[in-house]
Structure 1
Amino acid sequence: MDWLLTSIRINGGAGSSAYYQLLKGWSLPYPETTGYIIPTLLDYHDYLEERPLFEAAESCARWLVDIQREDGSFPAGLGGRGEPVVFDTAMILFGLTAIHQRTGETGYREAVQKAIGWLLRQLGPEHRWTAFAYVPGYEPAYYTMVVWAILQAGRIVEQHGLKEKMARIMDRYRQWINPDSSVANWGFHPDSPALTHTIGYTWQGFLESALILEDKKLIGGCLEAGMKMVEIHQKKGRLAGTYDQNWNGNYAFKCLTGQAQFALFLRRLAEISGEKVFKTVSMEWIEDLGRYPSKLPMPGAKGGMAGSSPVWGPYQRFKYLNWAAKFYLDAVLERPAVQQSSIM
């Protein structure tokens, strides 16, 4: 948590730097991940009762409102200067929704309303998001997170027919789920192996959206996916960094962000189903992650969570990521009897 707070302080509270890169230093702040870091800061404020965590969340939220574009979108990329992307704008909804729920400030709700409006206007034929994409024309399965973000934000704004529209989109995404719980288009690029990071996004979005929509069939599909993850863990003893559509993994590295997301997904399934194996495997992954916060003495690295293990692995090489820290902290907070030494 100290590392994450430092990533905000170095920007004067105006967002969280995306990463610290060895030999190069801190990046500019990243609007997308700053958005979904805000709920983590608020959750830890509640747990630790430390006011600076709430203040950091507020300063990040104010910065996001300041950089919102007139059309309701948010700039993508580092520094708040790029053209908008559907996924990035949606992830910011998590933070602005959470801060509004805590403060009641109308400015945050208005920003959420504008962002939802922009996202809905980008829906093309058959309710598809293909414009303003990371890869032009490609709609990835991890847009299930976009649906979840909109459904979550819909709790603080009035938008007629919003749940029904999101349910139609989710009906289309569920058709991409294969019998073995792999999912078409679940990576950053079409027809390429997917990082556990984007697989984690995909299944977390399916599950949380299904819970809001009270979609029992889709919840059942999530339980099947969880069992597949357990099966892989029991067979291999660890997670790969990437998987192809047949669950063939690249075990030469770990994607630490993805492992934290997988742990969170199984933890939620344990809460829903009562299946002990989900909790057991989730805990094993979390305990394993506890070995990876950096012990290097430089301030930008110490306590940070790398993109890959080893740190020179292919995902975000030599970088300590704010989103890796976020998902690790979320996973640790879900663990019973959290030890403060593991988070500060």
Structure 2
Amino acid sequence: MHALRNVDWALTHQTANGWFQHCCLSDTTRPLTHTIGYALRGVVEAFKFSQQQRYLDAALKTAEGTCRAVRSDGFLAGRLDADWKPAANWNCLTGSSQLAYCWLYLGKVTDRSELVDAALRVNQFVRRTIRVDGSPDLQGAVKGSYPINGGYRPFEYLNWACKFMIDANLAELAFVGANRRGE
């Protein structure tokens, strides 16, 4: 239960619209979706562990705000402001995948189709940015940013970006499979 105290502390920094104050190491007024994704995942995991409604409610506030920032093509700005408006013209692929994972989980447990729809669009967007040709060293690699010169780890391919992309896509496969089976 000590871990839940950490989540409780984090929730003292959550505003009414789900925004987390002090949620970035480099720019707290325009946090990276990567750090927002970490914050949301922590609250989601607190709910999964405890089944306490207050954690689900807190997670949904953040999920609703972030998923509204997703464009129809699945692009999500790499930084968001306190009103969940885009604050960058590039995508943090890591954060997009982290958030998609959370949206899929929350959409499943609450039957909220807008969360699932946002997650599916974001996953598709991230998949479109992955190289499938060229150097074998880069095939399947996930960039820090899209475009690659964006503000999060520019000109880099990140192992943790691959990890979060795989998590989100496995969650999508499980969700789609469960729906096909009528679960």
Structure 1 runs of 4+ off > 3 angstroms? Answer: 189-192, 234-238
Larger CA Rg, structure 1 vs 2: 1
Alignment partner, residue 144 of structure 2: 307
Q: Deviations over 1:252-276 (max 9, x none)?
A: 1100011111110100101211112
Is 1:170 the counterpart of 2:7? The answer is: yes
Structure 2 contact 29–81 (Cα < 8 Å) conserved: yes
Alignment gaps of 5+ in structure 1: 1-162, 339-344
Asked whether 1:253 is paired with 2:90, we answer yes
Contact 1:186 1:202 in 2 (8 A): yes
Question: What secondary structure does 1:181 align onto?
Answer: coil
Tell me whether 1:270 sits opposite 2:107 in the alignment: yes
Per the alignment, residue 206 of structure 1 pairs with 43
Contact kept, 8 Å, 2:73 with 2:121, in 1: the verdict is no
Q: What is the match of residue 228 of structure 1?
A: 65
TM-score by length of 2: 0.86
Map 1:271-286; keep pairs closer than 5 Å: 271-286=108-123
Gapped regions of structure 2 (runs ≥ 5): 178-183
CA distance in 2, matches of 1:265, 1:280: 12
CA deviation map 1:3-23 (0-9, x unaligned): xxxxxxxxxxxxxxxxxxxxx
Shift of residue 296 of structure 1? 5.2
Partner of 2:128: 291
Please say if 1:193 is aligned against 2:45. no
C-alpha RMSD of matched pairs (Å): 2.1
Q: Is the 8 A contact 2:30 2:81 kept in 1?
A: yes
How many residue pairs get aligned? The number is: 175
Separation in 1 of the partners of 2:171 and 2:100? 10
Aligned to 1:14: none
TM-score (norm 1): 0.47
What is the percent sequence identity of the aligned residues? Answer: 25
CA distances 1:193-217 after superposition (whole Å, capped 9, x unpaired): 2110110011011111122122211
8 Å contact 1:239–1:251 — kept in the other structure? no
